[in-house]
Amino acid sequence: MEDTMGQLDGKTAIITGASRGIGAETARLFAREGAKVALVARSEAAITALAEEIGPNARAYPLDISDYSGMKAMISDVAKAFGVPDILINNAGVIEPIARFTDADPAAWGEVIDINLKGVFNGAHAVAGAMAERGSGTIITISSGAAHNALEGWSHYCVSKAGAAMLTDCLHKELAEAGLRIMGLSPGTVATEMQVQIKASGLNPVSQLDFSVHIPADWPAKCLLWMCTPESDAYLGQEISLRDETIRATLGLTA
């Protein structure tokens, strides 16, 4: 008889930025692998439709991750509905408005920091205590090459991603002994709406890339699934790059 056990059977996963792209593909894959999934995004219509598509093992939470009280309330509701979360995927992130530093709007610049950096803190802080008390849990943050390389027009994005990468390092240093699995994933350029925004800006070399060179969103989803299993334990505390051919070969991903 064929084994129908899913890799995430019995697990509860929270996925931020679940309305489209990497987040939506990850939600679908995790649900197929047996997880109960909490879908978090500002786009209520999109995550409600996705939750309906997935079925009873999905719940939609329309909220802004930069609001700590909202994140805390969401995680409390998830724990009541599905159990204490086993997995947090910090995927939500924005890049607009793309602008050279001297043209940047201070309020808009700060909003990107609130989402891309404070949002990661909010999710991790709201769930880490219960995970540590239980002695297990996985927290993965979507990183970027922009965390390590400055790019014209992206000061807000580069700074927020660099901060999130350092926060991931801090979480590993503080929480690994409590049994938490902390990692980052730098997926490279992915064929999502963000790349449409980047191309429209015309700033820096990334905007000049042809859309055909970007990887599909299900590749990072497959990597995230693998990162949530013991098979990836050798990479705990590290930032995995999906540009790494060794990682791609491990996952069976080919262009």
Q: For the chain, how many residues are written?
A: 255
Beta bridge partners of 13: 37, 87
Of 8, 167, 188, the closest CA to residue 90 belongs to: 167
Which of 61, 68, 157, 235 is the catalytic position?
157
Provide DSSP, 14-43: EEESTTSHHHHHHHHHHHHTT-EEEEEES-
Which of 36, 42, 35, 34 lies closest to 16, judged by CA? 42
Q: What is the DSSP letter of 190?
A: B
Catalytic residue at 157? yes
Q: Which parts of the chain fold into alpha helices (H)? A: 21-32, 44-54, 68-82, 106-113, 119-134, 155-175, 193-201, 218-227, 245-251
Q: Which residues are catalytic?
A: 157
